[in-house]
Amino acid sequence: MLLSEVESKLKELGVGPSSEKFPYYTLPVIADPSSDPNVKPTYVAESFAIALYLDEKYPTPKYPAIFPSGTRGVQHLLVNQYLPSLITILFPLVYPKLPQFLDEVSMAYLRRTRSPEIFEPLPKEEETKKREEAQNKFAGIAKSLDFDGDDSFIMGNQPSFIDFAFGGIFFTIETLGSAQMKLIAQWHDGKWGNYWKRVQAIEANSSQVH
Amino acid sequence: MLLSEVESKLKELGVGPSSEKFPYYTLPVIADPSSDPNVKPTYVAESFAIALYLDEKYPTPKYPAIFPSGTRGVQHLLVNQYLPSLITILFPLVYPKLPQFLDEVSMAYLRRTRSPEIFEPLPKEEETKKREEAQNKFAGIAKSLDFDGDDSFIMGNQPSFIDFAFGGIFFTIETLGSAQMKLIAQWHDGKWGNYWKRVQAIEANSSQVH
C-alpha cells in the first residue's frame, strides 16, 4: 500500500483517525477476526490502543502482558511526554535517508504533507552536533537504567510497551541508517546493542495466538 | 541553618557533594545512627541516593519499599530526564515569592549564586502564558495517568519515589504560592488535588523506624 492510500483504505474499513486533535490515519492497524464468520473483524488503530486491546482480549497469565499491572499510565506518559524529546534529536539524523527507501509516489506525498526540508541532508557540522546531542541523551538514559543492572528492560525485568516503542525507534534507525545504529549499539559499553538484541529476540520468539 | 552554611556544615560532617559534575552540597542529608555508640552515623545526601540507601538498609517486606522491584531505572529516568521539563515551567510562577519566605542572608546568597532575575515578579502577560503552559502540561500527564484509574500513583497502585518527587514540587508550590496550588488542585476534575492529598497522607501516616 502507498502511504497516500492509508487514509482512504482505513476509512473504507471503518477505522477512525489515530488522533483526537488531527484527523490523521496511521498504520499499524490490527484486524482481530470474529469467532462468527458472518461478523467482520474488529479493527484497532494506533499502537498504544492496540496494546491495550490485546491485553484486554488476550489476558495474562495465559498470554504475555504488554503492560505489567498498574503501569499503563506511566508508560503512556513516557511514550507521549518523554519519547518525543528523544525522537526530535534522533530522526533528523536518518530522515534524509528516507528518499532512498521509499517509492516516488509516497515520497511526493510526504514532501507535500511534511516540511520538505526535513528530507534534505544535514550540513556536516550540524550532523556532528546532532550526533553528540543524541549520544549525550542516550548516555543519560543508560545511566538511569544502570540502576536496574545490565540486562533490564526499561520498566525492569519484564519487557513491556515502552520497550517496543524504543524498538520502533531503533528499527527505524537501523533501516534508514545502519551505520548510525552500529554507533548507538557501541555507546555506553554496548548497553544499547545488547538491549536492542534482547528486544529483537522477543519479536523473533513470539508465537502467534491461535 | 542558613543556606550559605550548608556546604561548610556538610564538609564538616564528611558528606560529599550531591553532583559528580558540580561540587555543590544539598539538603536533605540523613544521619543513620550506628548500632555501636562509638561509631559515627552514616551520612547520605541527595534524595535519590537516600531512597536507595533506605531500601537496602530497611528492606521490604518488613519495611515499605520506596522502589517496587526493578523500577529504580525508570524512576531515575523520570526524575532526571523528564521532571526538569515540568519544573522549568512551574517554578518561574513561584520563585518570585521566595524573598517573602527566606531570611535576608540566604536570599543574598541565592542572588549571588543564581541568576538574580528569577526572583523578579513576572510581567502579567508572561505569568498568564506560563500558567496556561503549566495547565496544558499537567493535562497531558493527567490524561496519561487516567489509564490507571482515578486513585493511582504515578507508577500504579503503590506509591514510590516518583510520587515523593511530585510531592516535593507540590510542597514547594503550596509553600510559596498557595493560590497557585489551589488552581492546580482543581485542574482535570480535581485529579491533582486528590493526588496531592494521597501523597500527603503517606507522610502523615508514616511511622518512624525504631
| ipTM of the complex model | 0.88
3-state secondary structure of B153: strand
User: Which residues fall within 8 angstroms of residue A83, CB to CB, at 6 or more apart?
Assistant: A165, A169
**Chain B residues within an 8 Å CB radius of A74:** 74, 78, 144-145, 148, 154-156, 162
Q: For residue B209, what pLDDT is reported? A: 53
DSSP one-letter code for A81? I
Average pLDDT over residues A88-114: 90
Interface test with B, best of A19, A55, A78, A81 (most B CBs within 10 A): A81
pLDDT band at residue B19, thresholds of 50, 70 and 90? confident
Chain A residue closest to B150 (CA)?
Answer: A73
- Backbone angles phi and psi of A42, in degrees to 5: -85, 120
61-80 in chain B: CB under 8 A from chain A:
69-74, 76-78, 80
pLDDT band at residue A19, thresholds of 50, 70 and 90? confident
Q: Please determine, for residue B21, whether its predicted confidence score (pLDDT) is greater than 80.
A: no
Q: Kindly state whether B19 is in contact with chain A, defined as any CB-CB distance less than 8 angstroms.
A: no
148-187 in chain A: CB under 8 A from chain B:
148, 152, 154-158, 162
Chain A residue closest to B154 (CA)?
Answer: A74
In angstroms, the Cα distances linking B114 to A6, A121, B122, B159 are 52, 40, 17, 33
Share of chain B above pLDDT 90, in %: 65
**Chain A residues within an 8 Å CB radius of B143:** 76
How far does A61 lie from chain B, in Å, by closest CA? 19
Q: Do B157 and A78 count as a contact with CB atoms less than 8 A apart?
A: no
Q: Please determine, for residue A117, whether its predicted confidence score (pLDDT) is greater than 90.
A: no
Q: Do A154 and B71 count as a contact with CB atoms less than 8 A apart?
A: no
In one-letter notation, the amino acid at residue B103 is D
Q: For residue A1, what pLDDT is reported? A: 81
Each domain of chain A, given as residue ranges in start order, spans 5-45, 71-205
For domain A71-205, give the fold: Glutathione S-transferase Yfyf (Class Pi); Chain A, domain 2 (1.20.1050)
- pLDDT mean across residues, chain B: 91
Q: Do A72 and B157 count as a contact with CB atoms less than 8 A apart?
A: no
- B114 vs A174, more confident: A174
Q: Taking Cα atoms as reference points, which of A157, A133, A150 lies closest to residue A188?
A: A150
Q: For residue B49, what pLDDT is reported? A: 94
Q: Which helix (H) or strand (E) holds B190?
A: helix B178-205
**Chain A residues within an 8 Å CB radius of B155:** 70-71, 74
Average pLDDT over residues A157-163: 95
Q: For residue A209, what pLDDT is reported? A: 53
Chain A residue closest to B69 (CA)?
Answer: A156
A81, A140, A157 ranked by CB distance to B144: nearest: A81
DSSP one-letter code for B62? T
* End-to-end CA gap in chain B: 27
Under 8 Å CB pairs connecting chains A and B tally to 96
The half-sphere exposure of B1 on its side-chain side, counting CA atoms within 13 A, is 11
How far does B64 lie from chain A, in Å, by closest CA? 18
pLDDT band at residue B208, thresholds of 50, 70 and 90? low
**Chain A residues within an 8 Å CB radius of B163:** none
Q: Do A74 and B144 count as a contact with CB atoms less than 8 A apart?
A: yes
Q: For residue B23, what pLDDT is reported? A: 72
At B25-50, the pLDDT tens digits run: 888 899 999 899 899 899 999 999 99
State the Cα–Cα distance between residues A151 and B98, nearest whole angstrom: 44
C-alpha cell at B86: 515540568
Q: For residue B188, what pLDDT is reported? A: 95
Q: Please determine, for residue A21, whether its predicted confidence score (pLDDT) is greater than 80.
A: no
DSSP readout, chain B? --GGGHHHHHHHHTPPPS-SSS----S-EEEE--SSTTSPPEEEESHHHHHHHHHHHS-TTTS--SS-TT-HHHHHHIIIIIHHHHHHHHHHHHGGGGGGTS-HHHHHHHHHHS-GGGGSPPPHHHHHHHHHHHHHHHHHHHHHHGGG-TT-BTTBSS--HHHHHHHHHHHHHHHH-HHHHHHHHHHHHHHHHHHHHHHHHHHHH-----
Q: For residue A208, what pLDDT is reported? A: 63
84-103 in chain B: CB under 8 A from chain A:
85
Chain A residue closest to B49 (CA)?
Answer: A147
Q: Please determine, for residue A168, whether its predicted confidence score (pLDDT) is greater than 90.
A: yes
pLDDT band at residue B63, thresholds of 50, 70 and 90? very high
Q: For residue B113, what pLDDT is reported? A: 86
Rg (CA), chain B: 19
Average pLDDT over residues A133-143: 95
Q: Please determine, for residue A23, whether its predicted confidence score (pLDDT) is greater than 80.
A: no
Nearest 5°: the CA angle A148, A154, A157 is 55
User: Which residues fall within 8 angstroms of residue B72, CB to CB, at 6 or more apart?
Assistant: A147, A148, B52
How far does B134 lie from chain A, in Å, by closest CA? 13
State the Cα–Cα distance between residues A71 and A52, nearest whole angstrom: 11
C-alpha cell at B205: 501516616
State the Cα–Cα distance between residues A32 and A54, nearest whole angstrom: 9
In angstroms, the Cα distances linking B181 to B33, B151, B172 are 37, 19, 9
Q: For residue A188, what pLDDT is reported? A: 95
Q: Where does residue B191 rank: exposed (0-12), middle (13-18), buried (19+ CB within 10 A)?
A: buried
State the Cα–Cα distance between residues B106 and A98, nearest whole angstrom: 55
3-state secondary structure of A110: helix
Average pLDDT over residues B59-71: 92
C-alpha cell at A42: 474488529
Interface test with A, best of B147, B154, B161, B163 (most A CBs within 10 A): B147
How far does B160 lie from chain A, in Å, by closest CA? 12
At A40-90, the pLDDT tens digits run: 899 999 999 999 999 999 999 999 999 998 999 999 999 999 999 999 999
- Backbone angles phi and psi of B105, in degrees to 5: -65, -45
- pLDDT mean across residues, chain A: 91
Q: For residue B194, what pLDDT is reported? A: 97
C-alpha cell at A167: 524498538
DSSP one-letter code for A37? T
C-alpha cell at A63: 498470554
